[in-house]
A and B are shown apart, each in its own frame.
Chain A
Amino acid sequence: MLQYALRRLLIAMPTLLLITMVVFAIVKLAPGNPFSISQASSERAVARMDRSDYEALLARYGLDKPWYVQYWRWLKGAATGSFGDSFSERRPVAEVFFGKSGAAQSPENPSLPLPSLLIRRFLDSKVGATLFLNMISLLLIAGCAVPLGLYAAVHKGGVVDKVSSTLFYGLYALPNFWGAVLLILLFGVTLKSLPFYGMHSDGSDSMGAASYLLDAILHAVLPAACLAYGSLAFMARFSRGVLLDVLHQDYIRTARAKGLPERLVILRHGLRNALIPFITLFGLLLPELVAGSVIIETIFAWPGLGQMYVKAIYTRDYPLILAESLLGAMLVLAGTLLADLGYAAADPRIRRA
């Protein structure tokens, strides 16, 4: 098992390297540099600069070297963990990811109690915000898909099964940006029951730890629902299928013949065996969440990594773009790796392949 895992990890390395090369190539092929794309005022300032000053500016950021030198420099830094400084925020990329959000400039109140401080630190960072959102949607998916799939499989052919089948198919086909728009129109505008912009309401600075967290959770409901509904529909249908397969096995028949109550048969014997493929598929959810985060965070103005990615692209912030693409690709690779490992753990035949 360990051998298989190591082998898969080893194969993943050159792919990761290739990914960094592809992203670097795309980013470098793009016209413009951070100074030509910047805001109107500084654009005029750049236009008025002397040629020599402009070249000095480029040299300061290492943008005058040939592309392979730039790539090598970036690679060296990445291997040691330093991804350079973000051009638009002028601080190290790691700080942009994990440190306080640039917008949340209110100085940290040192008199806050520890739990409040920790929660605020976590949610203020971009990585924290995205993690928070994705965790909530993963919880939604895991919590809802299995019971729904279970119910549909046990009551196969019933009203619930037929209705939910069509409903899930429709949900799965619903484009996520339209789903977001519809949810906002329904819950945000018509019913006005849920907030749909940003992560905090006004006056959140003075809230205690619990209400701060609750406020963030409330803001996360709509975006997390949008992230989750597609995968939820898929997982519910998948778990229904898996459960149907499992329930036809011989050991289920034996359990029933033994005289076990139906509930125990389904929950203890059926569900447990169905969970293995289900968990492995969870690994494949990671790519969906990475891609979905970009659009959903932009629509809901959620201050996370996805929204930062879009901004970095517009401002040609190369270090940020590269670091974030690397992160995204790593997450996708991790997801497929986890799924593969899960299959190997469940099915010993795969390990010897």
Chain B
Amino acid sequence: MTKRGQMGFWGEALGRFKQNRLGRYGLWVIAATILVAWLAPLIANNAPLMARYEGSLHFTAFRQVFPLNHFLAPDKITLKLRQNPDWLLEQKALPDPKLGWFLLPPVPYSPLQTRLDDTGSPPSFKASHYCGCDALGRDVLSRLIHGTKTSLLVGFVAVGLAAVIGIALGATAGFFGGWYDLIFVSRLIEVFLCFPTFFLIVTVVALMDPKYLNIWSIMAVIGLTSWTSIARYTRAEVMRAKESPFVAAARVIGANSRRLIFRHALPSALTPVLISVSFGLAGAILAEAGLSFLGIGVQPPEPSWGNVLRSVQSDWSQWWLGVFPGAAIFFAVLSYNLVGEALRDALDFRQG
């Protein structure tokens, strides 16, 4: 129970966090990337936000944001666009009488839409290809925007998996100790530590059966190889918490092991885990981008920052394929690192 005026541990930490300017910027960038990932169909799409077709109003782009859209019957504009993705872009030249007015998103291209006229064209405002096109004529900015969802999804799921495994193994090892900790968990952590993480990820992914290679297996691999730091911190903190008086008191009252771990030991151990998660997110996004760059991650035509960056290697004169995706990766990873450091400064009061 905290009295008014005393904010308690988390309140103080939050105050310290708010003061960290770089951390705040990082948080804004992270929020922006999450928003962009969620609303990508409204920002970059060849389907209109609003259009009047055959008398009725269609909100095609908004339908694509709706999660159950896959199961609903497609609307007329979607069908038209499936036949001819450039339909709306051609309206100036070949107006369709059934179409009234329409409003396209800021980037009027879909990430999968190939336009043979535009292959390998540099950035141009006139053609609305703000970041240029790749070798197949797909708009780079659109692919980057839709790729945000891929990168963030991989990051969050992989780190979630790593956190679950890490906390489970670390907490049990720290709490029960004995041979389970010494021979199994600690040795396992040491073995994983001996491989540079990316090395291990590349090895596992490259050795996998290509038919299982999709975004979910990549998430699983990244998660299964990055749990070690979380496990180490959890184990150390639980070991410390185990000796503390409040755990002893709970034990005296008669709490069983599970209750002791979950309700008493773990909550105080969560501090370094939170910091580790933030850095882990940065690492997971970086790993996914690296894998896609090497060609063993997300495969085209599915857009990902890494695989757009990869295409610069086939033609070095197309600099826009190298600069923009890399910048996206860089700023995303930098923001997560900044937030992680700000969290560390805010929560780790021992540093004094």
Contacts and interface: CB of A to CB of B under 8 A. Distances in A.
Interface of A: 14-15, 18-19, 22-23, 26-27, 29-32, 170, 173-175, 177-178, 181-182, 184-185, 188-190, 287-288, 290-291, 294-295, 298-299, 310, 313-314, 316, 321, 325, 328-329, 332-333
A32 B309 CA distance: 30
B207 interface: yes
A325 B196 contact: no
20 contacts: A19-B194, A19-B195, A26-B204, A31-B208, A174-B330, A175-B330, A178-B326, A182-B323, A184-B316, A184-B322, A185-B322, A185-B323, A291-B199, A295-B198, A310-B202, A316-B207, A321-B203, A328-B199, A329-B194, A329-B195
Contacts of B329: 175, 178
B294 interface: yes
Nearest to B327: A178
B284 interface: no
B187 interface: yes
A313 B207 contact: yes
Nearest to B335: A173
A197 to B, nearest CB: 10
A321 B209 CA distance: 17
A23 B200 CA distance: 9
B319 A325 contact: no
A314 B295 CA distance: 12
Nearest to A335: B194
B290 A295 contact: yes
B342 interface: no
B78 to A, nearest CB: 36
B227 to A, nearest CB: 15
Q: Which of A30, A170, A181, A288 has the most CB of B within 10 A?
A: A181
A297 B309 CA distance: 17
A291 B198 contact: yes
B185 to A, nearest CB: 13
A175 B203 contact: no
Contact of A177 (B199, B309, B334, B337): B309
A71 to B, nearest CB: 16
Contacts of B316: 184-185, 188-189
Contacts of A26: 203-204, 207
Nearest to B312: A181
A32 B209 contact: yes
A181 B326 contact: yes
B203 A177 contact: no
Given A181-B326, A328-B199, A332-B196, A173 B333 contact: yes
Interface string B230-265: 000000000000000000000000000000000000
Contact of B195 (A29, A288, A328): A328
B289 interface: yes
Contacts of A325: 195, 203
B191 interface: yes
Instruction: Summarize A's interface: helix, strand, loop or mixed.
Output: helix
Given A15-B191, A22-B191, A287-B196, A295 B294 contact: yes
A268 to B, nearest CB: 32
A316 B312 CA distance: 28
Instruction: Summarize B's interface: helix, strand, loop or mixed.
Output: helix
B317 interface: yes
B206 interface: yes
Contacts of A185: 312, 316, 319, 322-323
Contacts of A170: 334
A254 B105 CA distance: 70
A18 B323 CA distance: 42
B206 A313 contact: yes
Contacts of A31: 208-209
A314 B206 contact: yes
A32 to B, nearest CB: 7
Contact of B191 (A19, A175, A190): A19
A174 B290 CA distance: 12
Contacts of A321: 203
A15 B317 CA distance: 47
A31 B210 CA distance: 9
Interface in B285-327: 286, 289-290, 293-294, 309, 312-313, 316-317, 319, 322-323, 326
B190 interface: yes
Contacts of B289: 175, 177
B194 A294 contact: no
A290 B290 contact: no
B156 to A, nearest CB: 19
A15 B337 CA distance: 31
A175 B285 CA distance: 11
A287 B230 CA distance: 20
B218 to A, nearest CB: 15
Interface in B191-231: 191, 194-199, 202-204, 206-209
A15 B208 contact: no
B207 A298 contact: no
B326 A182 contact: yes
A280 to B, nearest CB: 18
A67 to B, nearest CB: 15
Contact of A290 (B199, B202, B312): B199
Given A31-B208, A175-B333, A298-B294, A181 B199 contact: no
A299 B312 CA distance: 11
